Amino acid sequence: MSANGQRYNVGGLLLDRPFKIRRLGHFGFNITKLAEGREFYGDLLGFTVSDQADFSRAPWFPKDAGLGDCHGWFMRHGTDHHAMVLFSKPVMDQRADRKFAPEVTINQITWQCGSLKEIAEAHSYFEAQQIRIQRVGRDMPGSNWHTYVYDPDGHTNELYYGIEQIGWNQNSKPRAMYYRGFQEKPELPQMSEAAELADAQAKGIDIFSGHRPALPNGGASYDVDGVKLPRPFKITKIGPVGLFVDDVDRAEAFYAVHLGLTRSEETRYRGARNVFLRCGAEHHSLALYPKELRGVLGLSPHTTCMSFGVEVANYTQLRASVDFLKSHGCTFVDIPPELYPGIDYSAFALDPDGHCIQLYYYMEQIGWDGRVRSTAERRPVGSHWPEALEPLSDSYVDQTFQGPFG
């Protein structure tokens, strides 16, 4: 649905907006218990630190404010420089360059688009549509070019292109290369990343001097489908993101009309309408729930995040992840299946701040005709989780994790 009756040529296809979101790229929380959060997402869930930010260097940082740890963590599960960011909530609440609405503890919901041109044209489009823009440019660390906008409830959505890829040697780009960051809309075209590397070397920069993680503590005592890892599972994908919103219709209109997500399904739970939106073939990458459900579900009142999903490589790993997290004292909560259609076996754990993390291994895939399975066509899930399952027509079709598990 076009917001303005116009169509835009996106790589030769006429779309209702000048970009197309391809997938959820990364996500972040502002955390009060930062050290405990670093342990939960790092040591327990297995996200690897790719860079550390120090906000005490920021121009807006209030000196002597007693804000505690001023660092932030960029973390990854694959080759994207970051899939998960963790920042200090007391520090983020001080930012002069961006404001978080009350109860918004999501730092960002970040979507990959198809090209740098799409990101630049998205900025012009949002300006013309009077969508509230936060900023535009290119952030270091991570190297991704982006346009940030707010949704009607104040959640930050970032559209990006070209995030830095971390390869076999685990090195992130060094700080000395951050001179290629942008605080404004870039002129197009820009030089390629290969040209940037050559430029940095010509300046005498050691391009291999960036952050490289140490081997994790505690050994690697688990056999994870043939690879020794410190935990019995591997996160292979992130998302879906679940949001509690003031007005589901208003939020749906923003995400469908302005960001171009497609509604896969809506469900009712205790009379409340919940909407599930996709950007690709997975059943949903974003779910919208009315805020009144938050108390009904017993979830933390401090956040508008209903849940953040982490997909593990397979069902056996899902079962092992639940046992592992329980053995490390994590709290699990019950969420009714009406609130996650398209996912069969799933468990919900709380992070140290009370954010709800959805563990799962499978998501229904939507084909060219856009039809979702009916309830009768879906696998019934009981409280007993068997050791093994019959495959579905779309089992493993989206499990294409690039590279080694660790």
Binding site for Fe ion (CB under 5 A): 110, 158
Strands 71-76 and 133-138 come out as: unpaired
Nearest-angstrom CA–CA distance, 283 and 263: 9
Residue 309 · residue 360 · CB < 8 Å: yes
Structure tokens at 260: 């171009």
Considering beta carbons, is residue 28 or 42 the nearer one to Fe ion? Answer: 28
Least separation, in Å, of the C-beta of 181 and Fe ion?
13
Considering beta carbons, is residue 26 or 231 the nearer one to Fe ion? Answer: 26
Nearest-angstrom CA–CA distance, 49 and 47: 7
Least separation, in Å, of the C-beta of 131 and Fe ion?
18
Least separation, in Å, of the C-beta of 158 and Fe ion?
5
Least separation, in Å, of the C-beta of 107 and Fe ion?
8
Nearest-angstrom CA–CA distance, 208 and 219: 26
CA distance readout (Å), 405 to 18, 48, 237, 331, 356 = 36, 12, 12, 26, 24
Considering beta carbons, is residue 142 or 341 the nearer one to Fe ion? Answer: 142
* Nearest residue to the partner Fe ion, using Cβ: 110
Least separation, in Å, of the C-beta of 132 and Fe ion?
17
Nearest-angstrom CA–CA distance, 340 and 337: 5
Sign of CA dihedral 250, 256, 258, 259: positive
Q: List 269's β-bridge partners, or say none.
A: 272
Strands 23-31 and 84-88 come out as: parallel
| Helix, strand, or coil (residue 323) | helix
Nearest-angstrom CA–CA distance, 252 and 232: 37
Considering beta carbons, is residue 110 or 172 the nearer one to Fe ion? Answer: 110
Considering beta carbons, is residue 84 or 288 the nearer one to Fe ion? Answer: 84
Least separation, in Å, of the C-beta of 333 and Fe ion?
28
Considering beta carbons, is residue 106 or 235 the nearer one to Fe ion? Answer: 106
Least separation, in Å, of the C-beta of 26 and Fe ion?
6
Considering beta carbons, is residue 110 or 112 the nearer one to Fe ion? Answer: 110
